Structure 1
Amino acid sequence: MAGITGWVDFLRDISQDLAVARHMTATLATRGPDDERVWASAHAVLGHRRLAIADPTPQPLVVRAGDRVVVVTFDGELFNRASLGERLGLTGSDPELVVAAYLKWGERCVDQLDGSFAFGIWDENAEELLIARDHIGLRPLYYHPTPSGVLFASEPKALLSHPQVDVVVDLDGFREALSFAGTPGHAVYRGMRKVEGGELIRFGRSGMIRRRYWRLEDGEHTDDLDTTVGRIRELLADAVARRIATDDGFSIMLSGGLDSSLITALASRALRERGVDSVRTMAVDFIEHAVNARAAGTDDSTFAAEMARHIGTDHRDIMLDRSLLLGALPRAAAVRAYPDLPCPVGEMTTALYVFFKAVAQNTSVTMMGEWADTLFGAFLRLEDPEVVARQTLPWVASGQLHVRSTGLGSGLFEPTLLKQLDLPGYCAERYRDELAGMPSGGAESEHDRRMREISYLYLRGWMEMGLAQDDGLTSAHGLRFRAPFADPALMQYVYTIPWSMKTFDGRAKGLLRKVAEGLVPQSILDRPKNPFPSTPDLAHAAALREEALAVLADPASPVLPLIDVDATKTAVSTVEELAAGWQSRGDVEMVLQVNTWLADYRPRLEL
């Protein structure tokens, strides 16, 4: 994990503008707290923030091959380090291997890389910049073209700090920020874009060229059920093994659910084959949520302890107090980490910020069962045929039909503004755009085809938002995360499996349960899903109310022109109703997040 930045200008000498580059790079200090370096030539400046435990090689790395000079700034890790090194005849660090691959294969080097990464390569002789992101998009990368070049960075905050960037959010940008659409490539701020997963971009004097080097492809699934189960288990076991190839003291976040338990079982098996007796696991929860869940028989700690005993892991429970969520500081930190935007899912982002802070205090690398739900079809409200049929993004459909017609977190914005934004219309347009780019399918039932569309949309927009959250909230604490379910080969194979096979037993994730048989206890296979901690809490509601009233009372609060003040006062009129209503708390949280964002980032809204 690291923070990377770059600035290319083809028309003037920027080698003396190092203060600007250093300022950009310094904004990413949490991603790499141990070292900061900047390299400069006449037309390119690259920066790097390093986390020493993850990245022993100082960067930007300058490589001279004959008369060629190539410079790389790299964030992430390669999972095929050994095999790639053998092919290149080189033993070296990840950035050294990436440069060697570039020198051998040019931009096609990305086809040879297996890992979680984002990088920028400046070819001094060709005066050309190559930026790229891993197949899935596990590591973030943003860019902002300028009249005479381009800027790039791991997070928007670095680009926003550059004097050539006008910090503007226009109508579509504000729609994107409030709608929860997760449009791939969209970065909210005008002029800024996000490199998509599986995408590379070249910048030279003649302009910009974008290329998708990897994407999901459609195809006919011909394997029967038993063969499919065996193939998934093989692909997942391989994905887990490649992510524990190095002895870096990783731990697994074990909730006792199906996904993390299966990952733990496969990791333990792989480690034992290497002579390692046990794997470290941890379960994290809020005390109040755990108490209520235990009464209902669904608490994580009980099932996690059972799985830990079953495998023989070195397990630890970490229990947190919800008071850690109180106040403006955790929320502001979560907005900065998300990254650099409000998020319309209530307190979830702040809670995850606190979660990962606790994890980072106990390990520097964590493996998670994240993205199994997305891959195997445990989607929001799919038991509701209206959600399935609605011609919009499916997670947005769930919010529109079961929370608010205008979408999550939108309930307290000024009605005239909501009409102008037309968030439902915006999401419907994004839905049509995404399906237009979906690979064409083969022969399948109408229902299977519809469910494949929903799967595709989730693996694009929903996953893009979640990956931004995972990376931002872990990087904020210097924590590296690994997600074996987000493996290109596994994702491609599972994507082609018909919905009727994924749910062959009538249950969501029935196929994954079949994969896990014999690896995890039956009680975990049968366990109902435990919702994300959102326990009604009077202290939390009282703090929310106090913050909201303070915002309403301050005429300088930047959010005031955007919200319905009377409706907001009503929403926070009683602590008890606010504590009991997840929908109301989410609306109030969004008002507070937007206020924090506007105050800290000072974007000019051009609506």
Structure 2
Amino acid sequence: MCGITGWIDYHGLGPDAATVLTRMTDTQALRGPDGAGIWTSNIAGLGHRRLSIIDLAGGAQPMLAHTNDGATDPALVLTYSGEIYNYRELRAELRTRGHTFRTTSDTEVVLAAWTEWGTAAADRLNGIYAFGVWDTRAQTLTLVRDRLGVKPLYFRQTGSSLVFGSEPKAILAQSRHRPEIDDEGIIALMLPLLKIPGKSPYTDIGEVRPGEIVTFSRAGLARHRYWRLEEQIAPTGHARSLTDSADAVRDLLEDTVGRQLIADVPLCTLLSGGLDSTAITALANNQLTEGPVRSFSVDFSAPFVGSEVTPNADTEYAHEAAKFIGSDHTSIVLDGAGLADQAIREACVRSRDLPFGIGDLDMSLYVLCKAIKDHSTVALSGESADEVFGGYLWFHRDDAVWADTFPWMSDSPAHGRLHRRILNVFRPELRAKLGVDDYVTDQYRAALAEVHHRDTDTRQQRRMRELTHLGLSRFLPTLLDRKDRLSMAAGLEVRVPFCDHRLVELVAPLGWDVQTGDGAEKSVLRHAVRDLIPRSVADRKKSPYPSIPDPSYSDEVSHQLAARLADPDCRLNELFDPAVLQAAITPPAAPGALISNVEAELALNFDAWLRIYDPVLAL
């Protein structure tokens, strides 16, 4: 998948440019353990760390494109992360236009496409990607991000300079100044279940938005959206039946999964035993020509404890699904003592550059990815099906659907109570000073204003369209960010077939009566794959990613927090309510909660981040 970075300064990079750029590039070594490269001129430098997936021998970066006029300097320089799933078709078309290719990599196809079509090349790409192109003749840098924002891309622009990277750590390494967090950034840290497009908590670091092209030149910064989610969700006037919709989804999923099986390294699927991952595993297994697909699931050594939010365990369903499909399945069993290791938490915080992470969910995903990496370098995941097909509880509970806020922040079991527990850890006077509730309201109103409606829409049609937009634009990015950072920190590329933009364009405009046409959530998807999955999985009530049930894990988390609070250098009281922190040291039993000790988990994440990054907080 790779890590990219770069630095442009029209006043000159200076004599240490190569050293600085190498430092920036090396911060992302975990994203690209298989190779590294930099390219520099007097005003521009690009860096790349490679995770080899396609054309293992070729495809080194940054990649250069030369003109035929005999010039020694390249015309274009590309640093690219991601996968283009239609690169074979594009390469064939580009050959008819006179392009020749030295490698079989998708990177060279992206570079040739840019040479042929410029920024219009983005409209032709199907995949997950983030890349930067430096045009040496026009002296412009262009940054491009995929439509759903699967691959991250951050930048900092100050005057004549722009620095970018797959992760903030690459940008922070350019200046080595202490990172700063302003008021809005602190609010963002309080709201890990909400992603505001284009922003990061760091004061001077923003993001290229999903489906956006950012161009930096001597004239300044220009931004252009080449794909807008709100335009895809807009009603089209073409009504589909449940059967027609399911057939169209099946055809598209078969094409999407088939494209995403292309790799020159071992490949597998993440199989939880839920509808989404089982469908992907079955579709992959049907299209592989050499043996069964490998599948992996996570399990815990402690016995499962059911709750309202997590009604059933994944294990039995994952094994039943694997047997039904015929996949070569492995269950990765995690124990509480190992997962509570402080080094694992710090690795997760470093991977995300921020103290985000809910309970043990980051740690278990990171350890799972590291275990899978011993066997495979690419994994297909069912991520984003709940946002695309309306699977979450907050699509179906009236107290969430009709709440005058983001539905997962409402006062309901549909994530909302988790959101409130997180927010209540912070000092009440700090929340009041920053106006957190007003900020959420303002962002909610701004998000709703993006949604396109039709005058003839019913109240429910309008609301469900709004929820689809909110989920895909403000909730899904938090999950994609988590999956990308933690998997890439383990050197594992995770592909997400349900994030194919063509699938969003097909499903998002469907009426809610079609989406729930059989009386259950995700009716369209369920009907599309019902012949591929066991009946038990098709009828299974949704369960979220599992939290560890081992009480020894929770005990260890509490002990670690007590030790940190006893350290005079601990900075947690700057942000958190001391009374809540003290209560978290000996938390009461919380049956039915998604995470048993959210308060202690959050505090320990912040403690690790404050120690490692030493940020300047606007308090």
Q: State the TM-score bracket (shorter-chain normalisation).
A: over 0.9
Please, which moves more after superposition, 239-248 or 392-401? 392-401
Q: Which amino acid aligns with 1:126?
A: A
- Cα distance in 2 for partners of 1:243, 1:161 equals 33
Structure 2 gap ranges (5+): none
1:355 equivalenced with 2:361 (yes/no): no
- Cα distance in 2 for partners of 1:159, 1:38 equals 15
**Contact residue 325 and residue 350 of structure 1 kept, 8 A:** yes
Question: Which residue does the alignment assign to 2:59?
Answer: 57
Shift, 1:308, TM fit = 2.3
Selected match of 1:136 from 145, 148, 156: 148
Correspondences of 1:108-127 after superposition (within 5 Å): 108-127=120-139
- Cα distance in 2 for partners of 1:13, 1:343 equals 33
Question: Which residue does the alignment assign to 1:44?
Answer: 44
Shift, 1:583, TM fit = 6.0
Shift, 1:2, TM fit = 0.7
- Cα distance in 1 for partners of 2:528, 2:91 equals 33
Question: Which residue does the alignment assign to 2:389?
Answer: 376
Selected match of 1:227 from 227, 244, 266: 244
Give the TM-score normalised by structure 1. 0.94
1:317 equivalenced with 2:312 (yes/no): no
1:160 equivalenced with 2:172 (yes/no): yes
In 2 relative to 1, CA 606–9 (structure 1 residues): closer, same or farther, beyond 3 Å? same
**Contact residue 253 and residue 283 of structure 1 kept, 8 A:** yes
Q: Which amino acid aligns with 1:57?
A: G
Selected match of 2:551 from 534, 538, 559: 538
Question: Which residue does the alignment assign to 1:77?
Answer: 83
Question: Which residue does the alignment assign to 2:476?
Answer: 463
Shift, 1:444, TM fit = 2.5
- Cα distance in 2 for partners of 1:318, 1:112 equals 39
In 2 relative to 1, CA 403–500 (structure 1 residues): closer, same or farther, beyond 3 Å? closer
Please, which moves more after superposition, 21-30 or 377-386? 377-386
**Contact residue 408 and residue 414 of structure 2 kept, 8 A:** no
Percent same amino acid at aligned positions? 36
In 2 relative to 1, CA 595–424 (structure 1 residues): closer, same or farther, beyond 3 Å? same
Aligned to 1:315, what secondary structure does the other structure show? strand
Question: Which residue does the alignment assign to 1:254?
Answer: 271
Aligned to 1:409, what secondary structure does the other structure show? helix
Shift, 1:592, TM fit = 1.3
Shift, 1:299, TM fit = 3.2
**Contact residue 179 and residue 408 of structure 1 kept, 8 A:** no
**Contact residue 257 and residue 300 of structure 1 kept, 8 A:** yes
Correspondences of 1:213-362 after superposition (within 5 Å): 213-216=226-229, 217=231, 218=234, 219-271=236-288, 275-289=289-303, 298-337=312-351, 339-343=352-356, 345-362=358-375
**Contact residue 146 and residue 164 of structure 1 kept, 8 A:** no
**Contact residue 6 and residue 21 of structure 1 kept, 8 A:** yes
Aligned to 2:456, what secondary structure does the other structure show? coil
In 2 relative to 1, CA 297–190 (structure 1 residues): closer, same or farther, beyond 3 Å? closer
Aligned to 2:346, what secondary structure does the other structure show? helix
**Contact residue 15 and residue 43 of structure 1 kept, 8 A:** no
Question: Which residue does the alignment assign to 2:113?
Answer: 101
Shift, 1:438, TM fit = 2.3
- Cα distance in 2 for partners of 1:105, 1:15 equals 35
Shift, 1:402, TM fit = 7.1
Shift, 1:133, TM fit = 0.8
In 2 relative to 1, CA 484–542 (structure 1 residues): closer, same or farther, beyond 3 Å? same
Shift, 1:577, TM fit = 3.3
Please, which moves more after superposition, 10-19 or 420-429? 10-19
- Cα distance in 1 for partners of 2:591, 2:569 equals 28
**Contact residue 168 and residue 604 of structure 1 kept, 8 A:** yes
**Contact residue 364 and residue 480 of structure 1 kept, 8 A:** yes
Report the aligned-residue RMSD: 2.3
In 2 relative to 1, CA 252–289 (structure 1 residues): closer, same or farther, beyond 3 Å? farther
Q: Which amino acid aligns with 2:61?
A: Q
In 2 relative to 1, CA 52–519 (structure 1 residues): closer, same or farther, beyond 3 Å? closer
Give the TM-score normalised by structure 2. 0.92
1:150 equivalenced with 2:156 (yes/no): no
- Cα distance in 2 for partners of 1:400, 1:169 equals 31
Shift, 1:208, TM fit = 1.1
Q: Which amino acid aligns with 1:6?
A: G
Shift, 1:185, TM fit = 1.0
- Cα distance in 2 for partners of 1:176, 1:94 equals 36
Q: Which amino acid aligns with 1:8?
A: I
In 2 relative to 1, CA 530–496 (structure 1 residues): closer, same or farther, beyond 3 Å? same
In 2 relative to 1, CA 306–398 (structure 1 residues): closer, same or farther, beyond 3 Å? same
Deviations 1:65-84 (A, max 9, x none): 13452111111111011101
Q: Which amino acid aligns with 2:240?
A: D
- Cα distance in 2 for partners of 1:484, 1:580 equals 32
Shift, 1:221, TM fit = 3.7
1:573 equivalenced with 2:586 (yes/no): yes
Structure 1 gap ranges (5+): none
- Cα distance in 2 for partners of 1:354, 1:120 equals 31
Count residues with an aligned counterpart: 600
Shift, 1:535, TM fit = 4.3
In 2 relative to 1, CA 428–221 (structure 1 residues): closer, same or farther, beyond 3 Å? farther
**Contact residue 412 and residue 588 of structure 1 kept, 8 A:** no
Question: Which residue does the alignment assign to 1:387?
Answer: 400
Q: Which amino acid aligns with 2:286?
A: R
1:194 equivalenced with 2:207 (yes/no): yes
In 2 relative to 1, CA 289–7 (structure 1 residues): closer, same or farther, beyond 3 Å? farther
- Cα distance in 2 for partners of 1:367, 1:361 equals 16
Deviations 1:173-211 (A, max 9, x none): 110121132111111101111111111111110111111
Shift, 1:284, TM fit = 2.0
Question: Which residue does the alignment assign to 2:198?
Answer: 185
- Cα distance in 2 for partners of 1:307, 1:521 equals 6
In 2 relative to 1, CA 398–512 (structure 1 residues): closer, same or farther, beyond 3 Å? farther
**Contact residue 410 and residue 417 of structure 2 kept, 8 A:** no
Shift, 1:256, TM fit = 1.7
Aligned to 1:36, what secondary structure does the other structure show? strand
Shift, 1:361, TM fit = 2.2
**Contact residue 119 and residue 133 of structure 1 kept, 8 A:** yes
In 2 relative to 1, CA 400–534 (structure 1 residues): closer, same or farther, beyond 3 Å? closer
Question: Which residue does the alignment assign to 1:26?
Answer: 26
- Cα distance in 2 for partners of 1:43, 1:569 equals 52
Aligned to 1:407, what secondary structure does the other structure show? helix
- Cα distance in 2 for partners of 1:577, 1:300 equals 23
Aligned to 1:419, what secondary structure does the other structure show? helix
Question: Which residue does the alignment assign to 2:92?
Answer: 86
Aligned to 2:20, what secondary structure does the other structure show? helix
Q: Which amino acid aligns with 1:465?
A: T
Aligned to 1:524, what secondary structure does the other structure show? helix
- Cα distance in 2 for partners of 1:5, 1:22 equals 10
1:410 equivalenced with 2:412 (yes/no): no
Selected match of 1:397 from 407, 410, 416: 410
**Contact residue 135 and residue 141 of structure 2 kept, 8 A:** yes
Shift, 1:166, TM fit = 5.7
In 2 relative to 1, CA 386–256 (structure 1 residues): closer, same or farther, beyond 3 Å? closer
Question: Which residue does the alignment assign to 2:9?
Answer: 9
Shift, 1:349, TM fit = 1.7
**Contact residue 243 and residue 527 of structure 2 kept, 8 A:** no
- Cα distance in 1 for partners of 2:76, 2:374 equals 37
Deviations 1:535-556 (A, max 9, x none): 4432112211111111211121
Aligned to 2:30, what secondary structure does the other structure show? helix
Q: Which amino acid aligns with 2:42?
A: A
